[in-house]
Amino acid sequence: MSSVRRIATVSALTVLLAGATLASAQRDLHNPVSNGPLPPRAEVKVDFAEGFEGYGPALATADAGFDETGAVVDGAAEVNESAEDVWALWEAAASPVGLLTGGTIIGADTRTRVNPTNVYPARAIALVTFSGGSCTGWFVNANTVVTAGHCVHSGGTGGNWRSNVRVYPGRNGSSSPYGSCTARQLFSVDGWTLSGLETHDYGAIKLNCTVGNTTGWFGFFWQSASLNGISVNVAGYPDDKPLTQWKSTGPIAASQARQVFYKNDTRPGQSGAPVYYNKSGCGQCSMAIHAYGLHGASPHSGNNHATRINQATFNNLISWRNAP
Average pLDDT, the chain: 82
Asked whether 305 and 291 are in contact (CB, 8 A), the reply is yes
Q: Give the pLDDT confidence of 195-204 residue by residue, as tens digits.
A: 999 999 999 9
Query: What's the rounded Cα separation, in Å, for the pair 66 and 77?
Result: 11
Segment of 8-12, 17-21, 281-285 carrying the highest mean pLDDT: 281-285
For residues 278-301, give the mean pLDDT. Answer: 95
- Model confidence band, residue 95 (pLDDT cutoffs 50, 70, 90): confident
Out of 30, 150, 200, 290, the active site residue is 150
Catalytic site includes residue 150: yes
Query: What's the rounded Cα separation, in Å, for the pair 320 and 228?
Result: 28
Residues 279, 284, 289, 292, CA torsion sign:
positive
Query: What's the rounded Cα separation, in Å, for the pair 136 and 134?
Result: 7
Residues 6+ apart with CB under 8 A from 223: 9, 11, 51, 52, 53
Quickly count: other Cβ atoms within 10 Å of residue 151's Cβ: 34
What pLDDT does residue 197 have? 96
What amino acid occupies position 170? Answer: G
- Residue 187, CB half-sphere, CA atoms under 13 Å: how many? 26
The DSSP element (H or E) to which 318 belongs, if any, is helix 311-322
Q: Give the pLDDT confidence of 262-280 residue by residue, as tens digits.
A: 999 999 999 999 999 999 9
What pLDDT does residue 77 have? 53
What pLDDT does residue 38 have? 81
Q: Give the pLDDT confidence of 153-186 residue by residue, as tens digits.
A: 999 999 999 999 999 999 999 899 999 999 999 9
For residues 37-59, give the mean pLDDT. Answer: 50
Backbone dihedral region for residue 245 (phi beyond 0: left; psi -120 to 50: alpha; all else: beta): beta
Residues 6+ apart with CB under 8 A from 295: 100, 301
pLDDT beyond 70 at 21? no
Higher per-residue confidence, 64 vs 209: 209
Q: Per residue in 57-89, is it b (16+ CB within 10 Å) or e — as a string?
A: bbbbeeebbbeeebebeeebeeeeeeeeebeeb
Least confident window among 49-53, 78-82, 308-312? 49-53
Which class for 299: exposed (0-12), middle (13-18), buried (19 or more C-beta within 10 A)? Answer: middle
pLDDT beyond 80 at 82? no
Query: What's the rounded Cα separation, in Å, for the pair 181 and 86?
Result: 16
User: To the nearest whole percent, how much of the chain has pLDDT over 90?
Assistant: 68
DSSP 2: P
pLDDT beyond 50 at 72? no
Q: Give the pLDDT confidence of 223-268 residue by residue, as tens digits.
A: 999 999 999 999 999 999 999 999 999 999 999 999 999 999 999 9
- Model confidence band, residue 56 (pLDDT cutoffs 50, 70, 90): low
User: Residue 286 forms beta bridges with which residues?
Assistant: 220, 276
- Model confidence band, residue 71 (pLDDT cutoffs 50, 70, 90): very low
Q: What domains can you pick out in the chain, each with its CATH number?
A: 6-322 (2.40.10.120)
For residues 288-294, give the mean pLDDT. Answer: 96
Taking the alpha carbons at both ends of the chain, their separation in whole angstroms is 19
Residues 6+ apart with CB under 8 A from 254: 228, 260, 261, 299, 303
Out of 154, 271, 286, 319, the active site residue is 271
